[in-house]
Structure 1
Amino acid sequence: MKIKTLTAPVLLAFMLAACSAQSDKDAAQGAGELLASDWQEITDTAKGQEVNMYMWGGNDNINRYLDEWVAPRLKELHDIELTRVPVSDAQDFISQLLDEKSAGKTAGSMDIIWINGENFKAAKDNGLLFGDFAGQLPNFNEYIDQDAPEISHDFGEPVEGLEAPWGKAQFVLVRDENKVENPPGSMDELAEWVHENPGQFTYPALPDFTGSAFIRHVLYETTGGYEQYEQPAAEIDDLESRLEPMWDYLNDIEPYLWREGETYPESLSKLDQLYASGEVAMTMSYDPALAASEVLQGRFPESTRTFLLDAGTLANTHFLSIPFNSSDKAGAMVAINEMLSPEAQTAKLSPENWGDLSALDLEKLSPEQQQAMNEVDLGGATLPLEELESNRLPELSSDYIEIIEKGWMENVAKE
């Protein structure tokens, strides 16, 4: 039998394929060894690493907390360089990771990603995450209630150790009490107020996360509550017709919105700017203490207050995860563990830094740690934590989100 001589291009292709396969094998082996290592080995490996954290960058307070509190602490305690990489939407880095996965890129630029909801499900379904790392983190094991539904599941999707909880969020409406003396307690009352005060209210255009959350409240109140949506969307045969009251409500208020509903703020930060400048009387947030932080920074008026709907408001957990091709996985694990420390969580809770609710179980904290957290001044614009806790509504599972966002474009934005 005659053996054919390989041409240079074909030989090069074979060599590249072999190198890529070996690289994938080495990466998988390295990841497995890291997940099996003890914490001291992980912290030793992490020293000197440079960790890139990809996250939504639309809020100055959050950015400052990372840059001025978290990053210096990681450098001092662990010799880790943390670099915050801002993105406009988490979907941006999910798309990048999908491209890198398809291209076989095993050494990526992302080490930590801030994620939850439909983006977590997309990352999980497409194998874009590192692995079951959360159980390796000492602070996760010591201070987190791992059996709590909002910790074990992310918008209905089992977490399975692929991400670690960073904080808890709850939707609040924000008002200038000089303009909105008696805040509406329901969507019906809000519609009445909007009709009586044309141009003073709007919400961010979808797919903005907070704008989408506002519409989910409309869904719950106009269609009979959240219980009917606890099953997967695919199992509701009449879902399209069931959503119609929500579209009717949104179209009814649209002519009375800011700029008569002809356009919507493209993001929450744009809506906040409208509120700060006095163009509208209300804004909204998924961070209950963020309004107080904006008041402290002099961006929101002193008369700013937050309020809830009588039926409650949506609450969820946001998480930190590690991409499959992170180049510095040990550094990422140590950084995430540090961000789950009681000290970091207490600093994060303060409106002077961020105002984000803690992911920790208070009962697992020492008396001194509990006292430090309880002594944080949340500001006059922030509701008591007890009131927030007693008025939490569950989030929709992620399979509803795309349906609602597409439906808004077709039934509201295009009308």
Structure 2
Amino acid sequence: MKKISLMASGLLVLVLAACSNETGNSAAEEADSLLKSDWKSVAEEAAGQEVNMYMWGGNENINRYLDEWVAPRLQEEHDVELNRVPVNDAQDFVNQLVDEKSAGKTEGSMDIIWINGENFKAAKDNGLLWGNFTGQLPNFQDYIDPEAPEVAADFGEPVEGLEAPWGKAQFVLVYDEDKVKNPPKSMEELAAWAKENPGKFTYPALPDFTGSAFIRHVLYETTGGHEQYQQPAAEIADLETRLEPMWQYLNGIEPYLWRKGETYPESLAKQEQLFASGEVWMTMSYDPALAASEVLKGRFPESTRTYVLDGGTLANTHYLSIPFNSSQKAGAMVAINEMMSPEAQTAKLSPENWGDLSALNFEKLSAEQQQALNDVNLGAATLPIEELEQKRLPELSSDYIEIIEKGWMENVAKD
């Protein structure tokens, strides 16, 4: 009798597993059909869906733009509810997706993720992204050049339609012009300035994203330019030797940094606090309009300005993607398409909302749409877009970043 019960239980498990697989396969087939559907069908399926957008939540302006500008329009115009889910770091949701993939979870809670760089490569390599969906989006078709280098590759990794460009970022240095009359325009000038103004400069400790970017500028300038690094790190046999001038430079300026370099701000947010309080006279950002936003909020002084190095600064694109197990893929597509619209991109450009550079190809916009972008008041603290574009430098591929961050801990932080 006991054996029969065990056999019956086993059969039940097998039946349930089979049903589960059939349900999972059916859901997957239904989702994949969206990649071939016309846009009207996608929009009809999206109506009534609630979409969870997982993203870094550390910026009040960005959060407010999503909550007060994007979400209401999605609800009103498309009957799609956008639910912003803040996380401390994109790596957190990548790790969660890895766990869900390993556990075979086919219906996840994430529908849209804000991603780029190392995290995109990790997600792509582990099969965590849904598929080539960008070609289905009308605003991608109308306003994006898919062959543009800053769109086709993300930190050197081919995008292949797995993520849609949402905006562009470019590194700028931020200073108080009442205190810094002639801001240093090269790493050589910065070293001299730091010695003349001890304690008034620092940078965030790695692995902070912006601190890491600052060090990549040091790499480019102290080792002979960026061109040599436009190949996989593994192909450079003497990479460790090539990096040595960068470590020498960083150790050379360390005694003249804030707190004599004995400690570093643990994050960009901490560095911004130091600048706001006047402890340091310079900070930095990947957001060219961040300074203008902080001035508007009264946090940074009116005399705050930004600039780029004579040799240029790093620029990249940030993206929106759909996880492999999103349960609301149609709604995610509609939401991403809306966030790529000229109206949404123009609103996003304003420092009062976010100040994020548009991801759209300016030449593909109508004269009226171009004028709307040009009419956005970026504030005195923001450089003209034309000047930024003339000084754009390519990012390193993600394999270098891990090497540099580990090297900083060994060669700078531990000394």
- Give the drift of 1:188: 1.0
Q: 1:117, 1:20 → 2: CA distance?
A: 35
Q: Which residue of the partner structure matches residue 371 of structure 1? A: 371
AA aligned opposite 2:81: E
In structure 2, distance between residues paired with 1:318 and 1:306: 21
Match of 1:210 in 2: 210
* Aligned counterpart, 1:393: 393
**Distance in 1 separating the partners of 2:5 and 2:109:** 39
1:413 paired residue number: 413
Structure 1 segments, 4+ long, off by >2 Å, are: 3-24
For the residues of structure 1 that align with 2:118 and 2:23, how far apart are their CA atoms? 30
Alignment of 1:128-277 (within 5 A): 128-277=128-277
Give the match for residue 95 of structure 2.
95
| CA deviation string 1:371-401 (max 9, x = no partner) | 1111111100011111111111111111111
2:360 is aligned to: 360
CA displacement 1:317-342 (0-9 Å, x = unmatched): 11000000111111110000000000
**Secondary structure of 1:243's match?**
helix
What is the identity, as a one-letter code, of the residue corresponding to 1:267? S
Distance, in Å, in 2 between the alignment partners of 1:35 and 1:176 is: 50
| Aligned partners of 1:62 and 1:353 also within 8 Å | yes
One-letter amino acid of the counterpart of residue 77, structure 1: E
**Residue by residue, what CA displacement relative to the aligned partner does 1:16-56 show, whole Å, maximum 9, x if unpaired?**
54344334312321221111111111111111111111111
Q: Distance in 2 between matches of 1:205 and 1:229?
A: 23
Letter in structure 2 aligned against 1:274: L
Kindly tell me: are residues 221 and 72 of structure 1, through their superposed partners in 2, closer, same or farther at Cα, counting changes over 3 Å? same
Q: Which residue identity is paired with 1:403? A: I
Conserved? CA contact 1:166–1:359, under 8 Å: yes
Report how many aligned residue pairs link the two structures.
413
Separation of aligned partners in 1, 2:27 and 2:33: 10
Cα distance in 1 between the residues matched to 2:409 and 2:300: 31
Match of 1:302 in 2: 302
Deviation per CA, 1:92-113: give whole Å up to 9, x if none: 1100000000001111111111
Match of 1:85 in 2: 85
C-alpha RMSD of matched pairs (Å): 1.5
- Residues of 1 paired with 2:383 and 2:349: CA distance? 13
| Counterpart residue number, 2:62 | 62
Amino acid across the alignment from 2:278: G
**Matched residue SS, 1:35:** coil
Counterpart code for 1:37: S
Q: Which runs of 5 or more residues in structure 2 are unaligned? A: none
Gaps of 5+ in 1: none
Indicate if the aligned counterparts of 1:59 and 1:269 stay in contact, CA closer than 8 A: no
Instruction: Rate the CA distance shift 1:22–1:222 in 2: closer, same or farther, 3 A.
Output: same
| SS across alignment from 2:34 | helix
Aligned to 1:327, the other structure's residue is in SS state coil
TM-score (norm 2): 0.97
Worse overlay, 182-191 or 200-209? 200-209
Paired with 1:89 and 1:244, the residues of 2 have a C-alpha distance of 30
Q: Distance in 2 between matches of 1:302 and 1:116?
A: 32
Cα separation, partners in 2 of 1:13 and 1:400, compared to 1, 3 Å: farther
Aligned to 2:266, what secondary structure does the other structure show? Answer: coil
Contact 1:247 1:411 in 2 (8 A): yes
